[in-house]
Amino acid sequence: MDYCWVLSLFAFVVVVVVVSSVNAIGRVDNTSFYDNYHLTWGFDHALLTNQEKEIQLSIDTSSGSGFESNALYGSGFFHIRMKIPENNSSGVISTFYLSSTPSSSDHDEIDFEFLGNNGPPYTLHTNLYTNGQGAREQQFRLWFDPTKQFHSYNLLWNQYQIVFFVDNVPIRVFKNSTENGASYPSKPMHIVASVWGPSWTGHINWSQAPFQAHYQRFHVDGCVLNDYDIPKCYSSKYWWNNNNLWKLNPQQRGSYQNVRHNYLTYDYCSDRSRYPEPPPECQFNQ
Ligand SMILES: *[C@@H]1O[C@H](CO)[C@@H](O)[C@H](O)[C@H]1NC(C)=O
Ligand SMILES: *[C@@H]1O[C@H](CO)[C@@H](O)[C@H](O)[C@H]1NC(C)=O
Ligand SMILES: *[C@@H]1O[C@H](CO)[C@@H](O)[C@H](O)[C@H]1NC(C)=O
Ligand SMILES: *[C@@H]1O[C@H](CO)[C@@H](O)[C@H](O)[C@H]1NC(C)=O
Ligand SMILES: *[C@@H]1O[C@H](CO)[C@@H](O)[C@H](O)[C@H]1NC(C)=O
């Protein structure tokens, strides 16, 4: 019994170590912000530090701030490290997401949004748009304090699945189930990040400002795409398209089910007041 326990703990540690090193693919990230990104708004509310290996975005009553990738991508394993604002930041939203041309009415988008808080629980909001249609929200209660340290937030996007990871734990899966009538993101997307205070989140206590979010790790594992020929980005020469990433492995499935069971606080798939019938993709993403 004890022996088994030690053995499974050992196996878990091995898996975690292997998974983390695969994500970092043996590279120490020394990429500067400007190698892959540029600021898009709130230029005087952004501060690069640590030899441009880290950026701080602030929001106060005059402005928030944001950046995006120089390139558009058609697949990848997108990764950022992020620390969200401290203080009582209710009403402030910090984001990391992928988005095709946002103004178009048929845009695709894959979102991580941190809703500001008055202390725990800390809510991570996710959403996914295809052809301009969103309303696919899932929310999670985080099992750590995201304001205190940097944590990893990753998005895997290949032809088979989109997976949202928090510290390498898969929290959300969106499978390509187009054959069963669902839709799937298919447009080149920028990587975007921002700190802002949209009116719909309600009152912000500005006496607590400025609210500051920090981002690190500007290396990008993605397939650059300058046209709409997305199959180019499904090539097996990109490691995130390999068949070991077409679905969750058994260990990831275990973590995924654990998160859904213990930390999922809202799921559009089970909201019968909005969707009398669950949308077609729901049954494939369990
Ligand atoms: C990392 O980048 C900095 C400046 O951008 C440079 O001075 C340093 O030598 C680099 N370190 C490595 C290990 O490449
Ligand atoms: C934030 O708000 C909570 C609840 O309103 C309060 O208990 C806490 O002391 C506040 N923290 C700070 C740093 O103001
Ligand atoms: C989704 O999967 C189908 C095969 O089932 C494939 O033909 C299609 O290219 C994929 N779509 C996207 C947008 O990746
Ligand atoms: C706003 O923050 C200040 C300073 O911490 C606090 O005294 C005040 O009660 C807060 N206001 C509201 C409406 O929570
Ligand atoms: C909010 O947090 C920042 C960063 O930790 C700090 O510098 C600032 O003084 C805090 N503001 C208030 C009103 O507590």
52: left (phi over 0), alpha (psi -120 to 50) or beta: left
For strand 54-59 and strand 169-175, is the pairing parallel, antiparallel, or unpaired?
A: unpaired
- Among 18-22, 123-127, 248-252, 279-283, the minimum mean pLDDT is found in 18-22
Phi, then psi, of 131 in degrees rounded to 5? 50, 40
Angle, alpha carbons 277-283-284 (nearest 5°)? 145
What is the structure's pLDDT at 19?
40
Ligand 2 atom with minimal separation from the 87 CA: 13
Q: Determine the Cα–Cα distance for residues 49 and 33; give it in Å rounded to an integer.
A: 10
Q: Determine the Cα–Cα distance for residues 124 and 143; give it in Å rounded to an integer.
A: 11
Query: Using a 6 Å cutoff on CB, does residue 176 contact ligand 3?
Result: yes
Whether residue 12 has pLDDT greater than 70: no
Model pTM score: 0.87
Q: Determine the Cα–Cα distance for residues 35 and 139; give it in Å rounded to an integer.
A: 32
Q: What is the pLDDT of residues 193-237, one digit of tens each?
A: 999 987 666 788 899 999 999 999 999 999 999 888 899 999 999
Taking residues 238-250, report their average pLDDT.
Answer: 96
Q: What is the rounded end-to-end Cα distance, in angstroms, of the chain?
A: 32
Domains recognised in the chain with CATH numbers? 36-284 (2.60.120.200)
CA of 92 to the centre of ligand 4 (A): 15
Residue whose CA lies nearest to ligand 5 atom number 4: 86
Q: What share of the chain is helix, strand, coil (3-state, %, to 5)?
A: 25, 35, 40
Angle, alpha carbons 117-118-119 (nearest 5°)? 95
Residue to probe by mutation, ligand 2, list 88, 117, 147, 212, most atoms within 8 Å of CB: 88
Please state, in angstroms and as integers, the Cα–Cα distance from residue 128 to each residue in 43, 94, 240, following that order: 28, 16, 20
pLDDT band at 102 (very low <50, low <70, confident <90, very high): confident
- Among 15-29, 99-113, 138-152, 228-242, the minimum mean pLDDT is found in 15-29
For strand 169-175 and strand 73-83, is the pairing parallel, antiparallel, or unpaired?
A: unpaired
Query: Using a 6 Å cutoff on CB, does residue 30 contact ligand 1?
Result: yes
Q: What percent of the chain has pLDDT over 90?
A: 70
* 77 neighbors 240 (Cβ within 8 angstroms): yes
Q: What is the pLDDT of residues 124-158, one digit of tens each?
A: 999 999 998 889 999 999 999 999 999 999 999 99
Query: Mean pLDDT, the chain, as a whole number?
Result: 88
Please state, in angstroms and as integers, the Cα–Cα distance from residue 192 to each residue in 39, 80, 129, 211, following that order: 10, 11, 15, 19
Tokens of 145: 């304090």
- Among 4-18, 87-101, 235-249, the minimum mean pLDDT is found in 4-18
CA of 117 to the centre of ligand 2 (A): 9
* Catalytic residue set: 109, 113
CA of 118 to the centre of ligand 2 (A): 6
Whether residue 18 has pLDDT greater than 90: no
